[in-house]
Structure 1
Amino acid sequence: MRELPTDHNDHAGGATAPTRRRKRRRHRLLIFLAVFALLAGSGLLAGGYYFDSVPTPSDLRLPESTTVYYADGRTPMAKLGDENRTIVPYDQMNDSAKQAIVAAEDRTFWTNKGIDFSGVLRAAWSNLTGGQRQGASTITQQYARVAADLNGVTYSRKLREAVIAWKLADKYSKEEILGFYLNTVPFGRGAYGIEAAAQTFFGKTVRRDAPPAQQLTQAEAMVLCAMVKQPEADPADPEGAPGYDPRRNALAKQNSIDRWNYIRDGMVKLGYLTPEQAANLAYPDTVKPIDPDAGRSGLDQPTGLVVNHVLGELRQTEQFRGKPDEVIRDGGYRIVTTIDKRVQDAAEASADIRRGTAPEAVRGQPDNWQAALVAVEPGTGRVLGYYGGNNGRGADYAGWYYDEDGQAHGFGQHPPGSSFKVYDLAAAVQDKISVKQHFDSPETKEFPDSGRTKGSPAGPIRNAEHAACQPDCALWEATVASLNVTYFELTEKLGTAKVIDMAKRAGVDSMWATEKGNPQPQRVDLRDKPAAEVAKRFSTEVGIGQYGITVQDHANGMATFAAGGKRAEAHFVRSVTKGDDELYAERLTQTDVGLDEEAINQLDWTLRRVRAARLDNGWDSAGKTGTWQAGQSTTQNVHTWMVGWTGALAAAVWLGTSDGKPLRTKNGSYEVYGSNAPGPIWRQFMEQATAAMKLDPGKYRFSDPRFPDDTPPPSATNRPAPTTSSSPTASSRPTPSATPSDSRPSPSPSDPPTPTPSGSLSLSPLPSVSPSRTRGPR
């Protein structure tokens, strides 16, 4: 008997039956679409297998940061590039990150086929039915997604991702794929790849050849691999969805700890850790604070100026000439510089007069005081220390460099004053003029051939110093007392071409002069033409230091004399590598400047007698001071210098003002000279640097001079000999006498002051100029 429906059943049946039928039809349609999509997808997979490429990290040309290192090749100086990434080959990584990333992201990685087919189908169904979108599953697929830059979570993307993953698994080993992945994925804070992450978050490396204390540990790697799940905070809700960086906020730290525990459990299941090891493993609270400048550190430090010179030097090489800077900055290169971290630290501690580590004589002085220091290794030309200012993005007071457009920039040139007399003296002893030869050295003297007479605008030459020997002084005495009259006469005797040629061969590549009517100093490249032709652009005042040179060139000149007259090119780059390939290596060459042993010995012996050059740490040392006046003043100086060398290290120090005004102490005194300002900087630096390098001074003694009559100069008698070593060059020469020098300014007229630097200065060739008035050197 048929059951009659009740009113309720009539209502229910009439209202719900069509709805159920509609739902069943909709489900059948969805199933049909899913099957169709999967079948179509299979066709896409089959076709795409032959057309989709399989990019490796090298194929992707990912922007990879270039790292600039100190000379030890381990200590980073600066990071270059828009993305902080350093690729490390898989076999050079330690096991910490390899194990942690598998435990975090794909625990079946070593056994699966590279594709999670059920995940692909699940993603297709989920996407078609409006379910939650599915991300990549296996590590191979994750790398495929990143490599192919397949943004967005769509069905077609999952299929192409599967194609690439399939081909990856077919073409590459598991180890290669894991290496691709670890070098590619983002970890947060702008760090791409595990090496950049290790450096950014822990200041460590994944390289297995690094000292154990510097290598990423297992626990630290687990912290990093936890971040891959969400490298950065959600910009829409940074507080509520901060990701896994434990330094971001309390929630992020808890997220990190929770996922770290998850990874630790996976490490046990995979056999990477025993339960006992896992129990004893502690979450590391050593993650570095978030630094917005991380990855580009060093560019605003004093060493940022070194980076400018490094790039300028590489722009002149065959490998990088004519290429845009991005090639270097984003090329993932490993640039090892010549800068010795120990020497650089001593340079900054001594020459940065704003620091409490600078010599007391220059500490706390007016804000416009500025120093620069460059140290060069004799015999190699390696720049071991460079301080051109405390801001790597500011003015460079020590030298100049070529920018990307081939233009010269920098403000490292300053009139050297009497410190340039070292080149005059070297030219003299090369010309067999003994340091014992006497010169007429009155207080003032006319030189008609050079246009320096009482009736000339500049007037006669005046001595800046006095000496007991006057008016008849041996050359060595005139050197120690820094007598301008003697050195002007010496320059006339030698000829300006010979003096300039000696400076050029020793290391002075550029010289500046102010042309009448042109307020900017113009640069002359001394290497371009023969010295006789170049000399036509300069007057006899070159011998007393009127024309500007750079601190870097001056330091290189001193290194030449320290190396016994063997000149090496000053340079900043030791090597450039990428991966296992060396793309550039320094070429160490020497050029003999023509000084025989006797000449070098006379040069050393004379300059040892400059009081400011004496060191208190047992090293034989030689040097020279110098100053240059402000405008026509006879009592105020703008530029002061101290230059010199030991057998192991040469350095030049300039101290002046950043605005071109005269040097004035905090007490209002204008008594600022080479001996009492840059002198203390030079001595402190030389003592600290040689001590830090742990060199034996006994191995770098100066040799004895042998004069034409085989007798020492008069002052060499009745003095105790310094301690000697078994070195073939050990000296038994007397200790230098304490003859004061560089204590008074010159009363001679002068040119307008040198222009004030503005951060960078374009340098152009110098046209021919007539002899100009000289400001007083010292």
Structure 2
Amino acid sequence: MRVLPTGDNHNAGGAPAQPTARKRRGRRLVSLLAVFALLVGGGLVVGGYYFDSVPTPTDLKLPESTTVYYADGRTPMAKLGAENRTIVPYDQMNDSAKQAIVAAEDRSFWTNKGIDFTGVLRAAWSNVTGGQRQGASTITQQYARVAADLRGVTYSRKLREAVVAWKLDDKYSKDEILGFYLNTVPFGRGAYGIEAAAQTYFGKTVRRDAPPAQQLTKAEAMVLCAMVKQPEADPADPEGSPGYDPARNARAKQNSIDRWNYIRDGMVKLRYLTPQEAANLAYPDDVKPIDRNAGQSGLDRPTGLVVNHVLSELRRTEQFKGQTDDVIRDGGYKIVTTVDKRVQDAAEAAADIRRDTAPEAVRDQPKDWQAALVAVEPGTGRVLGYYGGNGGSSGADYAGWYYDEQGQARGFGAHPPGSSFKVYDLAAAVENKISVKQHFDSPDIKEFPASGRTKGSPAGPIRNAEHAPCQPDCALWEATVASLNVTYFELTEKLGIAKVMDMAKRAGVDSMWETVKGNPQPQRVDLRDEPVDEAAKRFSTEVGIGQYGITVQDHANGMATFAAGGKRAEAHFVRSVTKGDDKIYTEQLKQTDLGLDKEAVDQLDWTLRRVKAAKLDNDWDSAGKTGTWQAGQSTTQNVHTWMVGWTGALAAAVWLGTTDGKPLRTRGGSYEVYGSTGPGPIWRQFMTQASAALKLDPGKYRFGEPSFPDDTPTATAPAPSAPTSAAPSPTVPPTPSAEPTSPSPSPTPTRRPTPLPTLSPSLTSLPTASPTRTKGPR
């Protein structure tokens, strides 16, 4: 729908033959009667129909861009929508566009009654007498035409337009009408309204509270208001009738200059400019080139994946369920995400291994190397940072998965977690009163007949990838720091698969990928869809050493639960959705308490802070775990490497693998890539930089000290040191397929947030990447 310009003349045909004097007098009388009937009879008879309602810009179903913001609600992340429209209240606009549009379109606007009676009479007279169809429209009439969805230039349209304009002028002030118009009129390039036009053509704003250098100037506003006459080129003759966009071609630029001069003369006549000011005014030559992707922006950056998750999340809300994405994109909404710009910058700087800001250990490596990082705020579940790749909204997501508009799962985010999954085993152990100082048989290799891991079985016995001084008899904390698979396989047998999976599920792991015989692709199991005892039947004891794929998102959410002292919050990406003053949607922050008592939490923290890779050099108490999953039966080549962990204010999970499922191999040809040497540096850099950017006090987030009430004699625990790894294990090549995800964080100064009830967005299960059994994790 497009506003036609003032004084639009459309010739309906050739000039009629000249009638005789007597015929002219008769026709004039008939015409006068017709005009009277049109203006009086039409107004009385059908006026009620036309007068029913006069919508304001917020009532109109015109496209209006939706903007996605970072958590501060001020910094734009992306602009959505086929068309670009942003409503700015009239009193928040500076004077530049108000004056220029009046000079361009309706110089008597402030004094007329909203209708050009002469023009309407002329149009009616001309139409009735068979002359040219004519139009003369005030700004009020032009807005009425849009508001009443009137098209064409017939006399009946002009009459209806006049009636609606009459009502507008009677009901609203001139300021309100001009505001309606400026927020509605098309300016070309998909920009509806003066604010969208200012951004599209000059990268500026009409908001008077913006810094002066960012505000639209009078000269620039005159260029924009010139375009209202013909916002787009005539499709039938784009070269001959290109309109007034100076970037389109030389003819359009000359049209623009001519109209700009006309508007400048009007500005002088209306005393908006003095003659001297007008003489000093220069035509702006800094109009931005035409962007064929106008209307949407920011989707080509890593945060384009965040937008995908935002849309997926909103489709599951009551407010947007069952509606198309166009409703959101063109709805003029302000979507505030949970993603903190400071944390996101730190995530991209560390995890985008193509940048020179990434840690040296992972920089300048082969092209098939890929990292993913998700950070979640403990206690709220807000996603503070999300990096799943550089492909933008249309690229691969290696951190998680989301549902597209057709309900199809998209993403590549499920990877075998290896020994990083042992955090859940350890949490289940301390929940069940197994002290981290309890001793376990910990040889380098051990058979487990009950689980089918013997010398004669296809997978063979369980082997450790590392050695610990305590072997062959290690306390659980020692086996954790050394990441001994033998100990953790026995621990999983002791607890039972269901208890380990239940802890992972309650902490934040919503999905795991099982290996199905005869199916080359691992299949996603939604742990929320069935009792954990039933789901556990799909998995083997290898679950305890990280054979089965999970997403980086879910893993980060699990770490956030432990960071919050065992209080799980549902990970999410959306904080609020508003439209104008209307609150459409607001996040519901809820927590579920895992039931870990203080001693259990303290033992968990105490043990995992002794993992060398988790040590931060910034005075923060930190805990974490590395993980590695190997290629096939290899004991030296790794496909998936992990580092996960937390402080009291921030939790994060980092995965480093390959895009093609091949083993990680450095540019120098070495296969020596582990959780501590690859994702470890990424995690530490991110945690250090993000914590500094958030300016939180580490002293408010100290870990507690366990009392070990049921202490068993054991060696004294050293301070955090030995690097974490795990034993050679089965590798699952990263399979591009749909994988579930959850939203993330934003830190607040509370070491152990108070429990709140949990959100549970409903996700359906879908096939996705999942690991095949091999030897074991690091």
TM norm structure 1: 0.87
What's 1:504 paired with?
505
Q: What are the equivalent positions in structure 2 for 1:275-294 lying under 5 Å apart? A: 284-294=284-294
1:543 equivalent in alignment to 2:544: yes
Measured against aligned partners, the alpha-carbon deviations of 1:44-100 in whole angstroms (never above 9, x if no partner) come to: 344332222544234432232222111111222222222222233444544443333
Q: What are the equivalent positions in structure 2 for 1:150-189 lying under 5 Å apart? A: 150-189=150-189
Q: Name the CA distance, whole Å, in 2 between partners of 1:275 and 1:712.
A: 95
What's 2:221 paired with?
221
What's 1:120 paired with?
120
Q: Name the CA distance, whole Å, in 2 between partners of 1:114 and 1:585.
A: 41
Assess if the C-alpha contact under 8 Å between 1:602 and 1:705 holds in 2: yes
1:755 equivalent in alignment to 2:735: yes
Measured against aligned partners, the alpha-carbon deviations of 1:130-172 in whole angstroms (never above 9, x if no partner) come to: 8776444210111122233333333333222212222222333
Partner AA of 2:672 in structure 1 = E
Assess if the C-alpha contact under 8 Å between 1:381 and 1:570 holds in 2: yes
Q: Which stretch has the larger CA shift, 346-355 or 124-133?
A: 124-133
Residue 402 of structure 2 aligns to a residue whose secondary structure is: strand
What's 2:75 paired with?
75
Gap regions ≥5 residues in structure 1: 1-19, 718-735
1:740 equivalent in alignment to 2:718: no
Measured against aligned partners, the alpha-carbon deviations of 1:543-577 in whole angstroms (never above 9, x if no partner) come to: 10011111100001111111122111100000011
Assess if the C-alpha contact under 8 Å between 2:738 and 2:766 holds in 1: no
1:318 equivalent in alignment to 2:299: no
Q: Name the CA distance, whole Å, in 2 between partners of 1:155 and 1:625.
A: 77
Partner AA of 2:109 in structure 1 = F
For residues 590 and 219 of structure 1, do their structure 2 counterparts lie closer, same or farther at Cα, with a shift above 3 Å needed? farther
Q: What are the equivalent positions in structure 2 for 1:514-663 lying under 5 Å apart? A: 514-663=515-664
What's 1:376 paired with?
376
Q: Name the CA distance, whole Å, in 2 between partners of 1:21 and 1:331.
A: 54
For residues 160 and 477 of structure 1, do their structure 2 counterparts lie closer, same or farther at Cα, with a shift above 3 Å needed? same
Cα deviation, residue 257, structure 1: 4.8
Q: What are the equivalent positions in structure 2 for 1:431-450 lying under 5 Å apart? A: 431-450=432-451
What's 1:454 paired with?
455
Q: Name the CA distance, whole Å, in 2 between partners of 1:710 and 1:436.
A: 6
Assess if the C-alpha contact under 8 Å between 2:484 and 2:727 holds in 1: no
Q: Name the CA distance, whole Å, in 2 between partners of 1:515 and 1:489.
A: 25
Cα deviation, residue 755, structure 1: 3.1
What's 1:44 paired with?
42
Q: Name the CA distance, whole Å, in 1 between partners of 2:486 and 2:351.
A: 32
Partner AA of 1:48 in structure 2 = V
Q: Name the CA distance, whole Å, in 2 between partners of 1:246 and 1:167.
A: 37
For residues 254 and 586 of structure 1, do their structure 2 counterparts lie closer, same or farther at Cα, with a shift above 3 Å needed? same
Measured against aligned partners, the alpha-carbon deviations of 1:285-338 in whole angstroms (never above 9, x if no partner) come to: 554332222211122322221112111111211112222333222222211111
Q: What are the equivalent positions in structure 2 for 1:325-364 lying under 5 Å apart? A: 325-364=325-364
Q: Name the CA distance, whole Å, in 1 between partners of 2:220 and 2:379.
A: 45
Q: Name the CA distance, whole Å, in 1 between partners of 2:98 and 2:110.
A: 11
Cα deviation, residue 754, structure 1: 4.8
Measured against aligned partners, the alpha-carbon deviations of 1:499-528 in whole angstroms (never above 9, x if no partner) come to: 111111111111111111122222222223
Residue 574 of structure 1 aligns to a residue whose secondary structure is: strand
For residues 271 and 661 of structure 1, do their structure 2 counterparts lie closer, same or farther at Cα, with a shift above 3 Å needed? same
For residues 559 and 171 of structure 1, do their structure 2 counterparts lie closer, same or farther at Cα, with a shift above 3 Å needed? same
Partner AA of 1:50 in structure 2 = G
Q: What are the equivalent positions in structure 2 for 1:240-319 lying under 5 Å apart? A: 241-249=241-249, 252-253=252-253, 255-272=255-272, 284-319=284-319
1:687 equivalent in alignment to 2:685: no
Measured against aligned partners, the alpha-carbon deviations of 1:148-199 in whole angstroms (never above 9, x if no partner) come to: 3333333333222212222222333333322221221101111011222233
Q: Which stretch has the larger CA shift, 294-303 or 334-343?
A: 294-303
Q: Name the CA distance, whole Å, in 2 between partners of 1:41 and 1:188.
A: 35
For residues 157 and 37 of structure 1, do their structure 2 counterparts lie closer, same or farther at Cα, with a shift above 3 Å needed? same
What's 1:66 paired with?
66
Residue 167 of structure 1 aligns to a residue whose secondary structure is: helix
1:35 equivalent in alignment to 2:32: yes
Q: Name the CA distance, whole Å, in 1 between partners of 2:144 and 2:101.
A: 16
What's 2:698 paired with?
697
For residues 205 and 715 of structure 1, do their structure 2 counterparts lie closer, same or farther at Cα, with a shift above 3 Å needed? farther
What's 1:733 paired with?
none
Assess if the C-alpha contact under 8 Å between 1:48 and 1:160 holds in 2: no
Assess if the C-alpha contact under 8 Å between 2:675 and 2:724 holds in 1: no
Q: Name the CA distance, whole Å, in 1 between partners of 2:710 and 2:457.
A: 42
Fraction of identical pairs, as percent: 81
Partner AA of 2:381 in structure 1 = G
Partner AA of 1:560 in structure 2 = T
Assess if the C-alpha contact under 8 Å between 1:66 and 1:328 holds in 2: yes
Assess if the C-alpha contact under 8 Å between 1:416 and 1:639 holds in 2: yes
Partner AA of 2:735 in structure 1 = P
Cα deviation, residue 715, structure 1: 5.4
Partner AA of 1:39 in structure 2 = F
Residue 228 of structure 1 aligns to a residue whose secondary structure is: helix
What's 1:728 paired with?
none
Q: Name the CA distance, whole Å, in 2 between partners of 1:714 and 1:238.
A: 84
Gap regions ≥5 residues in structure 2: 1-16, 742-762
Aligned residues: 737
Assess if the C-alpha contact under 8 Å between 1:409 and 1:763 holds in 2: no
Cα deviation, residue 339, structure 1: 1.1
Assess if the C-alpha contact under 8 Å between 1:660 and 1:756 holds in 2: no
1:394 equivalent in alignment to 2:395: yes
For residues 512 and 264 of structure 1, do their structure 2 counterparts lie closer, same or farther at Cα, with a shift above 3 Å needed? same
Residue 399 of structure 2 aligns to a residue whose secondary structure is: coil
Measured against aligned partners, the alpha-carbon deviations of 1:651-677 in whole angstroms (never above 9, x if no partner) come to: 111111222222222222222211222
Measured against aligned partners, the alpha-carbon deviations of 1:653-709 in whole angstroms (never above 9, x if no partner) come to: 111122222222222222221122212222222222222223333333333343337
Residue 60 of structure 1 aligns to a residue whose secondary structure is: coil
Q: Name the CA distance, whole Å, in 2 between partners of 1:138 and 1:21.
A: 32
Partner AA of 1:755 in structure 2 = T
Q: What are the equivalent positions in structure 2 for 1:395-410 lying under 5 Å apart? A: 395-410=396-411
Residue 524 of structure 1 aligns to a residue whose secondary structure is: strand
What's 1:721 paired with?
none
What's 1:146 paired with?
146
Q: Name the CA distance, whole Å, in 1 between partners of 2:43 and 2:613.
A: 80
Measured against aligned partners, the alpha-carbon deviations of 1:392-432 in whole angstroms (never above 9, x if no partner) come to: 21222111223334443322111100000111111122222
What's 2:750 paired with?
none
Measured against aligned partners, the alpha-carbon deviations of 1:431-468 in whole angstroms (never above 9, x if no partner) come to: 22222222221110111221211222221110011122
Cα deviation, residue 113, structure 1: 0.7
Residue 229 of structure 2 aligns to a residue whose secondary structure is: coil
Assess if the C-alpha contact under 8 Å between 2:412 and 2:734 holds in 1: no
Q: Name the CA distance, whole Å, in 1 between partners of 2:530 and 2:696.
A: 40
Residue 79 of structure 2 aligns to a residue whose secondary structure is: strand
Which structure ranks higher in relative contact order (CA pairs < 8 Å, sequence separation ≥ 6)? 2
Q: Name the CA distance, whole Å, in 1 between partners of 2:546 and 2:680.
A: 18
Measured against aligned partners, the alpha-carbon deviations of 1:219-243 in whole angstroms (never above 9, x if no partner) come to: 5434322322222234455455543
What's 2:747 paired with?
none
Q: What are the equivalent positions in structure 2 for 1:187-198 lying under 5 Å apart? A: 187-198=187-198
Q: Which stretch has the larger CA shift, 605-614 or 374-383?
A: 605-614
For residues 239 and 449 of structure 1, do their structure 2 counterparts lie closer, same or farther at Cα, with a shift above 3 Å needed? same
Q: Name the CA distance, whole Å, in 1 between partners of 2:440 and 2:740.
A: 43
TM norm structure 2: 0.87
For residues 129 and 668 of structure 1, do their structure 2 counterparts lie closer, same or farther at Cα, with a shift above 3 Å needed? farther
